[in-house]
Amino acid sequence: MTTDLNTTTSSAPASDSALYQHLAIAGIDARAMGKVAVLFGGDSAEREVSLMSGSGVLDALRAEGVDAHAFDPGQRNLLELKAQGFQRAFIALHGRHGEDGTVQGALELMGIPYTGSGVMASAIAMDKITTKRVWLADRLSTPRWVSLKRGELQRERVRAVPDELGLPIFVKPPHEGSSIGASKVMGYSDMQKAVELAAKYDAEVLCEEFVDGAELTCPVLGEGADAIALPVIEIRAEGGNYDYQNKYFTDTTQYLVGQLPPDEQTRVQDLVLAAYRSLGARGWGRVDLMRRKSDGRLFLLEINTSPGMTSHSLVPKAAAAAGISYPKLCLYLLSQARLDSQA
């Protein structure tokens, strides 16, 4: 994995940073991980991104001395994991049938510990609308939204949404990631096309209030009271459009890692940790949010419980700023693999 030229970080600590020591990464025995399956590929709309993530993770774990093997659930039966004696699974799948609790449930039944959140937290986090409802129940701020079911996509109903939320609006499928099927709508005339695009990917369409301001993201490692927020990243995409292309295939997007003033970074990290704990997430994750330009108020957008691990991905960037290399990050995440039934 290479460092992108458009990534700006604060002075990164050495590999013996306080966080590196706190996580006891140096003491992890790669051989004790046993036979490991790196799950990537799958059959979701994010398959191509997952292939990139999984390839990086596989190479990193092997470089650390882990007995790691590629496993694509899109081409192989998951039951082979048990039959072939795999002892742990690193989930590098994104989207449906990978990040939504289904694979996690299958691994629970087979008794194979896996990385990341458990069944319930994964399922909730995959549904952006349910996530919003949980956050609101815990009094955590998120942009206003309107959801449209399959039977509510008539032109009159769709054109009424801007009257409720204002313009611009983000329209997206609530069960997809990587900005797949998402559109930024600037005027009434664009609403129907955006809704129809999102409806190709989901049975429900999420229309979300646009928050004008800085786009931020913050990865989290760990669980519960022991969870730790990594440095905050501010994302500056060309034209303010952080879409699929800008996320994975261009080098014009700027990532400012750990550049916020200390008080502001702490404020963002506190909200991110509250959002992460609210859903019962564990292992690792990444929370995306906005800071409104007019008053600095923070708004939670979504949480990723199986974040990307490509050369453009944000968790490795934040970890590097905290003194944790990509291979060591992968090894640490693998060491945290467990089942819901384990204490």
Give the residue numbers marked as catalytic: 46, 178, 248, 286, 288, 302, 304, 308
Structure tokens at 72: 């694509």
Structure tokens at 195: 């809704």
Structure tokens at 136: 């609101």
Continuous segment of H or E residues that includes residue 185: strand 183-185
CA distance 283 to 227: 8
Tell me which residue has tokens 């490692």. Answer: 221
Phi, psi of 36 (to 5 degrees): -115, 135
Structure tokens at 181: 């099927």
- Nearest partner of 282 among 208, 194, 219, 221, judged by Cα: 221
CA distance 89 to 337: 7
Strand order in the sheet with 204-209: 145-149, 204-209, 169-172, 183-185
Sign of CA dihedral 153, 157, 159, 161: negative
State the pairing for strand pair 35-39/88-91: parallel
CA distance 131 to 279: 8
DSSP 112-159: --BSS--HHHHHHHH-HHHHHHHHHHTT-----EEEEEGGG--HHHHH
DSSP 1-22: ----TTEEES-PPPTT-HHHHH
CA distance 253 to 117: 29
